[in-house]
Structure 1
């Protein structure tokens, strides 16, 4: 049996698996019929499928190193918009200092991958931002059941990114927070991390089309 078969039987209650079993559910090539089969158990199936198709196209462009570059100003605007959205979550949960960093710090471009990774992997403030936003998303799940948690696990596995997971799962989250800016930033070959004195932005130009 395939992983997709396992998923259908799991959602129908015929078999039981740990949610980690479905971490690679969205790996590889999935067509429209596959997506319909995966999402048929969720009332937001059409919205979920639409986002997954956008993700698949962006992932393909990254893999093929065929991203069309966008301007630095657009990248900075997307990074600021993403952090502004996250700032609203941090403020709602009473994380005033983190909310101030995310809402008031200015984006800063870097071409130094090591410098970016140092900030991105730091426990404070970027790591703590991820923890708080993750807690918020978990609390706002529309379907906090076995199928919902398994789908969230699979959506994380699509790119091994919680920020991409939030974009893909947004139709299942009771929130007006906009998770699109991060996805558009990622689609443009960039990433963002929160520092105490800046919003650090890195663009991987090796992903750009050379034509």
Structure 2
């Protein structure tokens, strides 16, 4: 950081220029800012970060008249997994999900986030529904491939997930909340139709 301090002596103007190294302070500030947006357990963006990202991506897609997709993932019978194997096993399951989702998302217009409890969300900017469906199918396969035991689950003896998917092309009459509501409705439809599936 540079400071310039003017002063005069006998009618002549002078300037004192001083430099201060604030690198450590800036690193500390960035660290605090980063922690505020990252879920402590899964080390992926948290709900606050998700909300901010969705708002920005919605505006970008509105401006460019591009589609945006929202994927909401709910781990099936996660409470049973916790009750059967203990909360530490439940936490380990969430950490594995976080790692897998972080590797799954690789475009600047996309984000994976912990949406709440055992729910996760993906925002896919400039992505049509058909493409998002293909990605969601791959995601469901990757969750199965984690091979996390859930022996008392009514669905399967391993961890499965229900996925709700919605697409919108933003316009002046719509809002991101409508996209969230649509994806949420599809998630509940997936649960009602037997879980371990995608509804869009």
- State the TM-score, normalizing by the size of structure 1: 0.29
Larger gyration radius, structure 1 or structure 2: 2
- State the TM-score, normalizing by the size of structure 2: 0.30
Structure with more of its chain in strand, by fraction: 2
Structure with more of its chain in helix, by fraction: 1
Q: Which structure's relative contact order is higher, taking Cα pairs within 8 Å and 6+ residues apart?
A: 1
